[in-house]
Amino acid sequence: MKRLSIFLLFLVLAASLSAQDDLMNMLKDSTAKEINYATATFKSTRVINGHSVQMMAPGQLDVRISHRFGLVNSGAYEFFGLDQSNMHFSLEYGITKWLMVGIGRGSYEKTFDGFAKYSILRQSTGARNMPVSVSALSSIAATSLKWTDPTRTNYFSSRLSYVGQVMIARKFSPSFSLQLTPTMVHRNLVPTELDPNDIYAVGAGGRMKLTRRISLNAEYFYMINSKKYMSETIYDPFSVGFDIETGGHVFTLLFTNSLQMIEKGFVGETTGNWLKGDIHFGFNISRVFTLKK
Amino acid sequence: MKRLLKYILFAAIIAAGVCSCYYDSEEGLYPSISSTCDTTNVTYSGKVVPIFANNCLSCHSNARAASSGGSVALENFADVSAQAASISAAINQTGPLSPMPKNGSKLKACLITTFDIWVRNGKPNN
């Protein structure tokens, strides 16, 4: 009886071994055809202020809370700006692999905003070689601050501004990614005739991993419009920050010269000058909830 | 799911059509306010009261002055004329006084000029 069972076991093992051979072959065949997509080009859907190429996975909700404090150079009495704060929070949801939408509210000019982001190309190797990931963003923002002069004829359209943006990013290595971001901002109402309604800018952002949980991010937007004749002195926004990943959260500590956290605000309305120390300390918190598997 | 996406797309297109792009500037829309500053006929009721109503009374009204306006009320003629010098220093943002409006951009030059003209004219109650 014992011998028989050993014999049977041997038979089963032999059969399974040959089956494994088949499986190995099948695996080899399939890996040759497989597409390896680059994942986590950036840790979250933002580089710092601006959007990254990264999308929310379908069924996942990202709850984001961001703060920008006052000017660091405002002195010890204002506790280096921390007495003042400016916030923005948003809910962002992945609908499909290629589409995510979000709504938000910022305290600057009491602005409501909404966006849709589409994934167009994904960086990949293997069966399909694609050197870069490309996403596109379109967003709309409406201020709700009371009009300074309620007696004049005020139009709702004057509250609106639109943003169109293309994000082109490449993950060069597991620890280094770069992104180029051509941007267009349209504002329905500007202060004077000299201020452009359409602002064109090119952004550049990067991420460098320092440790397993911490990465250094930097971001810059170059405004193509001439800033010489605008009614206010405008600077290009530049930000540096650290992404810190702490189990389910991405926590970004940052320094920037722009107070606003949406494209319409930091491209074309940044009044801080880094060289003079007009820098704001701030943070972004991102918490992802899985709503649908 | 596909149908939901179609609806969202449809709603977005409608929204974009309803409030499409405008190329406006405050200067162009309201020429009387920003490009030329009308400094003739500066009266308290006609020119000065609206400046306070639109820019100051959200904190400095009689009702709110004690809680949010640092006990400075700017709603009545008597209060405004008594504190005119301090108001001028605060809105010109030059003096030792706390710059006003607090946590907001400086008033338009025309409004500050209008107020200063009224003070120079002897603060008439007209």
SS3 A238: strand
Helices (H), A195-236: none
The whole-model pTM stands at 0.71
Nearest in space to A51 (alpha carbons), one of A166, A141, A132: A166
Rounded to the nearest 10 degrees, the angle between the axes of helix B84-92 and helix B109-120 is 160
- Residue range B62-113, pLDDT digits in tens: 888 887 787 888 888 888 888 888 888 888 877 667 778 765 667 888 888 8
Within this chain, do residues A159 and A204 fall inside the same structural domain, yes or no? yes
Within this chain, do residues A143 and A26 fall inside the same structural domain, yes or no? no
Nearest-angstrom CA–CA distance, B55 and B111: 10
Q: Is residue B53 part of a domain?
A: yes
Give DSSP secondary structure letters for A16-76: HHHHHHHHHHHHHHHHHH-EEE---SSSSSBSSSSB-S--PPBTEEEEEEEEEEEEGGG-T
Q: How far is CA A163 from CA A178, A247, B51, in A?
A: 21, 33, 34
Within this chain, do residues A15 and A127 fall inside the same structural domain, yes or no? no
Q: Report pLDDT for A247.
A: 79
Within this chain, do residues A62 and A16 fall inside the same structural domain, yes or no? no
Residue A162 at interface with chain B, using a CB cutoff of 8 Å: yes
Q: Report pLDDT for B51.
A: 86
Within this chain, do residues A24 and A71 fall inside the same structural domain, yes or no? no
Residue A99 at interface with chain B, using a CB cutoff of 8 Å: yes
Query: pLDDT per position in chain A (293 positions), as tens?
Result: 566 566 555 555 555 555 556 666 665 665 567 889 998 899 999 999 999 999 999 999 999 999 999 888 877 877 888 877 889 999 999 999 999 999 999 988 889 999 999 999 999 998 889 999 999 999 999 998 878 777 788 888 899 999 999 999 999 999 999 999 999 999 999 888 888 999 999 999 999 999 999 999 999 999 998 888 887 889 999 999 999 998 778 999 999 999 899 999 999 889 889 998 889 999 999 999 999 87
Q: Is residue B24 part of a domain?
A: yes
Q: Report pLDDT for A168.
A: 96
Q: Report pLDDT for A239.
A: 96
- CATH number, position A193: 2.40.160.40
> What's the domain count of chain A?
2
B118, B48 in Cβ contact below 8 A? yes
Note whether B5 contacts A186, CB cutoff 8 Å.
no
> What's the domain count of chain B?
1
Q: How far is CA A233 from CA A18, A201, A271, in A?
A: 75, 16, 6
Place of tokens 């972004």: A284
What ipTM was predicted for this assembly? 0.70
Q: Is residue A38 part of a domain?
A: no
Q: Is residue B125 part of a domain?
A: no
Residues of chain B contacting residue A192, judged by C-beta atoms under 8 Å apart = 25-27, 34
Within this chain, do residues A95 and A164 fall inside the same structural domain, yes or no? yes
Q: Is residue B30 part of a domain?
A: yes
Within this chain, do residues A170 and A136 fall inside the same structural domain, yes or no? yes
Q: Is residue A104 part of a domain?
A: yes
Residue A83's domain comprises 43-290
Q: Report pLDDT for A4.
A: 58
Out of A95, A149, A191, the one facing B54 most closely (by C-beta) is A149
Within this chain, do residues A153 and A258 fall inside the same structural domain, yes or no? yes
Q: Is residue B126 part of a domain?
A: no
Within this chain, do residues A49 and A127 fall inside the same structural domain, yes or no? yes
What the block records as the tokens of B49 is: 């009261």
Note whether B19 contacts A84, CB cutoff 8 Å.
no
Q: Report pLDDT for A256.
A: 95
Q: Closest-CA residue in chain B for A101?
A: B8
Within this chain, do residues A162 and A109 fall inside the same structural domain, yes or no? yes
